[in-house]
Amino acid sequence: MSQFPELGWIAEARKHIGLREIKGPKHNLTIVGWLKALKAWWTDDETPWCGTFVSHCLQTAGVKYPKNWFRALAYIDIAYGTKLKKPAYGCVAVKTRQGGGHVCFVVGRDQRTGKLVCLGGNQSDMVCFALYAESDFEAFMWYGQTSQPAQHRYDLPVLSGVTAVKVSEA
């Protein structure tokens, strides 16, 4: 996809594409494992888990993440990340929605629609790609080994044939 090495947290995120939560009394053991590793006080996949997914990926890559990682809107905290003026490959996109927020990783731009291609957890109860207008987001935050993304990360890859779901984020 790129001449540059893949970001560790995006490589981790891609490993889980297609992973789904389990409705009802049983829970996806992978998601439960992330909750345990992040020291959550709950152990179910029914609680919104987009922040859990993002923090798991950042943690796996050795990148600092917000103290209140389970709250999507906590990712706007500049004590942990750097607010960007525009999206960059691998940044955390933060959006507000009724009743809370949603976080996901920006991984490109859709060739057909021009929308951002975002990889996230709890997007229609699974890890998948979703398309969003840039204006849907409150902030684009950089979490990484450096305080800013490398300049080439702003040149979002144009992706064609992306299988993206119509997203429910709750």
Residue 124 lies in a domain: yes
Residue 87 lies in a domain: yes
What is the tens place of the pLDDT at every residue in 82-99? 999 999 999 999 999 888
Residue 168: its pLDDT value, please?
62
- Rounded CA separation 49/64 (Å): 18
Domain around 13: 8-159
Amino acid letter for position 11: A
Nearest to 160 by CA among 86, 118, 105, 108: 108
- Rounded CA separation 34/122 (Å): 13
Question: pTM of the full predicted structure?
Answer: 0.94
How many Cα atoms within 13 Å fall on the side-chain side of residue 154? 7
Higher pLDDT, 166 or 137: 137
Residue 97 lies in a domain: yes
Quote the percentage of the chain above a pLDDT of 70: 95
Residue 165 lies in a domain: no
Residue 44 lies in a domain: yes
CATH of the domain at 32: 3.90.1720
Residue 169 lies in a domain: no
Count of domains forming the chain? 1
* pLDDT higher than 80, residue 167: no
Confidence band (pLDDT; 50, 70, 90) for 1? very low
Residue 1 lies in a domain: no
CA–CA distances in Å: residue 40 to residues 59, 95, 155, 169: 14, 23, 36, 20
* pLDDT higher than 80, residue 56: yes
* pLDDT higher than 90, residue 162: no
